[in-house]
Each structure stands twice: as C-alpha cells, then as structure tokens.
Amino acid sequence: MTSKGRIFSGMRPTGRLHLGNYLGALQNWVALQNEGYECIYCVVDLHALTTETDTSHLRANTYEMVLDWLAAGLDPQKTILFVQSQVPEVNELHVILSMVTPFGRLEDLPTFKEKVRQNPENVNYGLLGYPVLQAADITLYLAQYVPVGEDQVPHIEFTREVVRRFNNRWGEVLVEPEAKLTETPRVMGLDSVNKMSKSLDNHIELAATPEEIRRRVMTMVTDPQRTHRHIPGRPEVCNVYHLHQIYTPADQVIRIEHDCKTAAIGCVDCKKIFAASLITGLAEHRERRARFAADPDYVWDVLAEGRKRASVIAQDVMLRVRDAVGLP
Ligand code: ATP
Ligand code: MG
C-alpha cells in the first residue's frame, strides 16, 4: 500500500495519558496509522524540560506514556515510535529555524502566555523557544499533517510561517504542515473551566482503576446553574453530558438528556451512570496496557528500533538543509 502522506506528532512525557490526550490526539494517531499514512510519533522529552525542573521521572514517564500509546493501538510494525533526544539532528535544525523566527512572534503565542501565568517563577529561554523546537520536530521529518488538540493549532500555524521563511531564504526544502483535529479537539477538565491537562491535575487517566474513575468522576463540575436537585439541568453546557455522548450508549444518552432537562435525575445519579460507562469504556485499554507491561523491555525495544528508523530520515533531511543553507 502506498502512503497517503507523512504524519508527525509528539507528546511530552509528563505522566500517564488522560482522556483529553486520547480524544484530542491519540485516537487520531491510531486512526491515521490504520488509514495508510506513514506515521512518526515522538516522545518529546526535550519539550518536557521546559516546565519540569525535577527530571528524575522522565524515564519512568516515557515508559508509562508509551504503554498508553501501545494499549491505544499504535503498532510499531507500521509506525515509528521514538524519543526526541535520541535523534539529535533536531537540535541543529532548531538553531537554524531560530534564525528565521521573529522574537516578538514567540512572546505573543497563547501557550507561552498561559505557561507564564501558570508558572511565573520558571520563565526560561527554552520555554519561549518551545514552538521553534516543535517546528524543527515536524519539519525534520517533512511531515504534511500533524494530529494535535486545539491548543496546539497556533503552533502549527507558526510552523507554517517558519517554513515559508526558510524556503524563501534558502530554497524549497521544508514542507508546510497542516493540523489535523478530532471531533473533540478540546476536552474540558473535571473543573469544567480549563482544558483537561496533566499539569492542572483536572484529568482522568486512561489507565485509571475503576475506583479512581468513580472518585474522579464524582468531583466533576456540572451545569453551574443547577444548584438544587429539583432545578432542571442544561445538558448542552454540562461537561459530564458531553462525555456521556462519547462513552454511554446512544439510547441511554437520550434518556439522560430528557431526565436531566426535567430534573428526573440529579447530577450525582448522572455521574454514577457516567462512571459506569467510563469504567466499561476504558477496561480494554487497561487490559491491553497490562499485557504490554508484562515484558518490561518491550517499550524500550520498540523505541530503540524507532530511533534507528527516525535517524535515517533525519540525517537525510539535514544533509539537504545544510546544503541549502550553505553550511560548509
Ligand atoms: P501538560 O499539561 O503537561 O501540557 P497535556 O495534558 O496538555 O500536558 P501534552 O503532552 O501537552 O499534554 O499534549 C499532548 C497532545 O494532547 C497534544 O496534541 C495536545 O493538543 C493534546 N491535548 C492535551 N490536552 C487536551 C485536551 N484537554 N483536549 C484535547 N486535546 C488535548
Ligand atoms: Mg499541554
């Protein structure tokens, strides 16, 4: 089968993956792999350094995250899975791309402003340059499509601009990528205010036990106007309802919508039903994950093989980049 195009994406190894990572990105990663795209997925450990000052968990987090990838259906026979720092060509491309990056453009990116707000005592040069390194990740593999959640769209737009500037100055070597979103590009956290995010601890892990799922779901914020059991709810503004639409069978969802609008059920009952749906919905993931974890070397073997395959592409593209730039 010929490839429909080259895909690249990455995730930071900052912990086990959550529903937002899956519904916003990982689900698409698996689908694209199975639709005949040539896929390259990266553990972006250097990106994790921008916010993680304690780096002692990077290795364990990489292992846990790749288990989630495999359990979700990424297939190392079809797809390259590798660790960013193990293919160091990306650092050289990062430096070159930084020369066609206007400084002010980086300061204006919403993700930078948000991280500064969340963590004002650790605003480092690497954090500002994060999108340039990300542009290097994507363009080093000449990727055409980048499956990501909505929060990453400004970075893909930024990458396109950098590619245009590079190609204008040095010739058509790099490829302008396009973002690919899922139908749920922004999953809200348990607080219903922020996007679900590892760093905000407002998430549910894909690998959560039934007990953890029940506990976390019961803390979910529902329609803020439904302050009493007898007040009818508005499913259209309720995060629990949105997730019911994904994890609960359709006939049951219709009943929940009706019962919520008529105050026939309260939010606690609704959340109990959702917890049960989610426990069922994630059971297979948990089982597959445990099977992959049974051989502790497997993840590392997969990443070692991915490193070799990624290096071949990266080295070839860097030869072309150096030649275009005129480096002696
Ligand atoms: P952190 O809080 O450490 O930034 P994160 O949970 O945002 O972690 P990332 O590694 O930054 O996870 O993101 C991995 C992928 O998951 C990206 O493509 C991102 O767009 C997507 N993603 C993350 N959170 C969500 C969400 N709540 N909804 C949809 N997509 C998401
Ligand atoms: Mg993030």
Q: What is the pLDDT of residue 200?
A: 87
Q: Same structural domain for residues 312 and 255?
A: no
Q: Same structural domain for residues 271 and 318?
A: no
pLDDT in tens, 113-148: 999 998 899 999 999 999 999 999 999 999 999 999
Q: Which residues, 6 or more positions from 87, have their beta carbon under 8 angstroms from its beta carbon?
A: 140, 307, 310, 311, 314
Q: What is the pLDDT of residue 165?
A: 98
195 Cβ below 6 A of ligand 1: yes
- Which range, of 58-67, 74-83, 118-127, averages the lowest pLDDT? 118-127
Q: What is the pLDDT of residue 16?
A: 95
pLDDT in tens, 221-276: 999 999 999 999 999 999 999 999 999 999 999 999 999 999 999 999 999 999 99
Rounded to the nearest 5°, which phi and psi values hold at 91? -70, -35
Q: Same structural domain for residues 28 and 73?
A: yes
Q: Same structural domain for residues 97 and 218?
A: no
Q: Same structural domain for residues 48 and 126?
A: yes
- Note whether residue 219 is domain-resident: yes
Range(s) of the domain holding residue 243: 210-281
What's the rounded Cα separation, in Å, for the pair 323 and 302? 32
Segment 8-22 shows an average pLDDT of 96
Q: Which of ligand 1's atoms lies nearest the C-alpha of 148?
A: 18
Q: What is the pLDDT of residue 304?
A: 98
Catalytic residue among 4, 113, 115, 272: 115
CATH number for the domain including 75? 3.40.50.620
Q: Same structural domain for residues 64 and 146?
A: yes
Q: What is the pLDDT of residue 164?
A: 98
In the chain, what percentage of residues exceed pLDDT 90? 95
- Note whether residue 195 is domain-resident: no
- Note whether residue 250 is domain-resident: yes
Closest ligand to the CA of 24:
1
Q: What is the pLDDT of residue 199?
A: 80
pLDDT at 1 over 70: no
Segment 94-102 shows an average pLDDT of 98
pLDDT at 84 over 60: yes
Quickly tell me which residue has 């070159």 as its tokens: 96
- For residue 187, the tally of other CB atoms under 10 A from its CB is 24
Q: Same structural domain for residues 37 and 149?
A: yes
Mean pLDDT, the chain, as a whole number?
96
- Note whether residue 71 is domain-resident: yes
Q: What is the pLDDT of residue 3?
A: 85
Q: Same structural domain for residues 139 and 114?
A: yes
Q: What is the pLDDT of residue 198?
A: 85
pLDDT in tens, 274-287: 999 999 999 999 99
- Note whether residue 200 is domain-resident: no
CATH number for the domain including 244? 1.10.240.10
Segment 26-38 shows an average pLDDT of 98
Q: How many structural domains does the chain have?
A: 2
- pLDDT tier, 38 (very low <50, low <70, confident <90, very high otherwise): very high
- Note whether residue 287 is domain-resident: no
What's the rounded Cα separation, in Å, for the pair 320 and 328? 12
Q: What is the pLDDT of residue 104?
A: 94
- Note whether residue 89 is domain-resident: yes
Q: Same structural domain for residues 250 and 151?
A: no
Rounded to the nearest angstrom, the distance between the alpha carbon of 197 and the centre of ligand 1 is: 6
Q: Same structural domain for residues 122 and 26?
A: yes
Q: Same structural domain for residues 70 and 139?
A: yes
- Note whether residue 217 is domain-resident: yes
Segment 182-194 shows an average pLDDT of 97
Q: Same structural domain for residues 15 and 131?
A: yes
199 Cβ below 6 A of ligand 1: yes
CB 175 within 8 A of CB 197: no
186 Cβ below 6 A of ligand 1: yes
Task: Of 307, 298, 295, give the one whose Cα is nearest residue 42.
Answer: 307
Segment 61-90 shows an average pLDDT of 98
Q: Which of ligand 1's atoms lies nearest the C-alpha of 48?
A: 3
Segment 146-170 shows an average pLDDT of 97
Q: Which residues, 6 or more positions from 214, have their beta carbon under 8 angstroms from its beta carbon?
A: 275, 279
